[in-house]
Structures are given as structure tokens and as C-alpha cells.
Amino acid sequence: MIEKSNFCISTGLKFTNTNKYPVFLFLLLAYVFILIANVGIVILIWTDRSLHQPMYLLFCNLSINDVMGNSLLVPRVLADILVPPSERVIHYYECLMQAFTTHMFGTNAHTVLMIMAFDRYVAICNPLRYATIMNGKMVIKLTVSAWGVSFVLVAILLGLTIRLNRCRTLITNPYCDNPSLFKLSCEDVFINNVYGLAFTVVLLSSSICSIILTYSKITAACLTSNSKSLNSKALKTCSTHLCLYLIMLVSGLILIALHRFPQLPEYRKISAILFNIVPGSLNPVIYGLQSQEILKCLSKLFHLKRVIPSF
């Protein structure tokens, strides 16, 4: 049996002395913004009763997912920037946890946006039954389903990798993921490749098909309705959701496409990091700017802060 090493070496990104500090500063500021914006949105929604609506409660899942996905990735990347590639050592179990979080982040992004699409479908196509259908229990069921499905799929994905004996220690990605882990093995990884491909195809096809079906029905409902308020509501809320989905989908597809070009390893590594940072940064901004209720709560909050010191 091949002896398993408890440590791996991550090559990560290649930097020069002139560009590593600007990159470090950019990633640090992006991470701080992601934390402040997403945690701030969650706190605002949970503390303001006017925002205790299914649409905002479901969006909290996306903010929590963005914080989770970036918190185990960006700090490690920041630490690696400041040390030479030969000293970027990571414990195997830390690497495994990072891979689990990375795949949970990507999978959750799809499942959460799918349940948010269902919420918009009910709100636009069944407005009179919206309060009955999207009650507290339904919100909890949708949330548990989104996270539960992601957990099971990712647990099986990494479970197939953990069983493999390792004979290598070099990870060529800027962070750990499932392909990086099973490439450490000298055993047959056919099952890993088959399940990984099936996992990706099922997730993407389910996600894309559900979005297309949902928005087709919403479009049909708007075209057959003479209500301007309904069409205006659909345009505001659905455009925001669709924008978030397209950002996540395009970021993921660019990363997948770059895997087909082994001669561009640095571009693939950069896109892998941006896949986490870009959606995490833009989601709270887009949702916050498009939501009148959130903007009202924020303006009320800042107005109170200006008024209080005057007493």
C-alpha cells in the first residue's frame, strides 16, 4: 500500500515582486467588501421586519454562501501570495475542507438561485396564492432542500476521492478542489471522472432548464396580463434574479472552458479565483440597488445615524 502524505504543496499563482503586492491588496479589499456587504445584507434582512419576505429570506442563503465560499479560499490565497511557491504547504485535511467548501459554494449557487426562481414564479403567476404557498414552512423546506441536495452531491463527489491512495503531493491550482485531490492518486480514477461529469451535467442542465421553464411561464403570464403593476413587478424582481444567475453561470462556464486549454494555466487559475470573488461582490450590490425595500431600509438607517448625534 502506498504511504499517504499528510501535506501537499500548492503552486498557486505566479507573481513577481512588482505585482504581488497590488494583487494582494486587490484580493484583500475584495474579501473585506464581500464580508461587509453580504453580512450587512443578512443582518439588515433579519433585523427589519418589513424585509421578512420569502424573496429576501431566500436571498440570505446566497449571501451566506458567498461568505462561506470566500472565507476558506481568499485568506489562504492571500497567505500564499506572500511566500515562495516551494513553501506553500497545506495539510491534506485542510485541503479536503477547502475542496468541500469550494464545491458547496458552486453547487449552492445553482440550487439557491433555482429556489429563488420558484419564488418569483409563484409571485408573478399565482399572486393571489403567494402568501399561502410561500409561507414560513415552505421557505424552510426550500432552504433545507437547496443546502441538503448540495451537501449530498458534494459529499459523494469527495467521498469517491478520499478512498484513493495518494502518491503525489503537488497541487497545481491556487486552491484545492476535487480534480486536484484525485490527481494526487496513482490509482484508476475512472469512477471519479464519470461521477464528476455526471454531477456537472445534471447540475447545469437542471439549473438552466428550471430557469428557462420558470421565465418562460413568467413571460407568458406578463404577455397575457393587462396589469401594468404586474409587468413592472416582474421586470424589477426578475431582472435582478436573472442578472445574478447570468453572472454566476458565465463565471462558471469561463472556468470550465479554460480547462480545455492546458496552455493557459495562469488564466485558468485567475478565473478560478474570480469565480468566487466576482459573484460574491456583485450579488449584494445588484440586489441591494434593485430592491426598493432594501434601499428604503438603508436610507432609514443612515438617516437615523445622522439624526442621533444632534440630540
| Tens-digit pLDDT profile for residues 57-68 | 999 999 999 999
Question: Listing from the earlier edge strand, what are the strands of the sheet with 7-10?
Answer: 89-91, 7-10, 170-171
Coil vs helix vs strand at 164: coil
| Alpha-carbon gap, residue 289 to 306, rounded angstroms | 21
pTM higher than 0.75: yes
Say if CB 192 and CB 161 are below 8 A apart.
Answer: yes
Given this model, what pLDDT does residue 262 score?
74
| Alpha-carbon gap, residue 104 to 127, rounded angstroms | 33
Sign of torsion, CA 38 44 45 46?
positive
Residues of the chain with pLDDT under 70: 1-5, 230, 233, 289-290, 292, 298, 301-311
DSSP state of 47: H
Given this model, what pLDDT does residue 2 score?
41
CB count, 10 Å around CB of 191?
13
Given this model, what pLDDT does residue 307 score?
46
**Torsion of Cα atoms, 6 then 11 then 17 then 18, to 10°:** -130
Given this model, what pLDDT does residue 309 score?
44
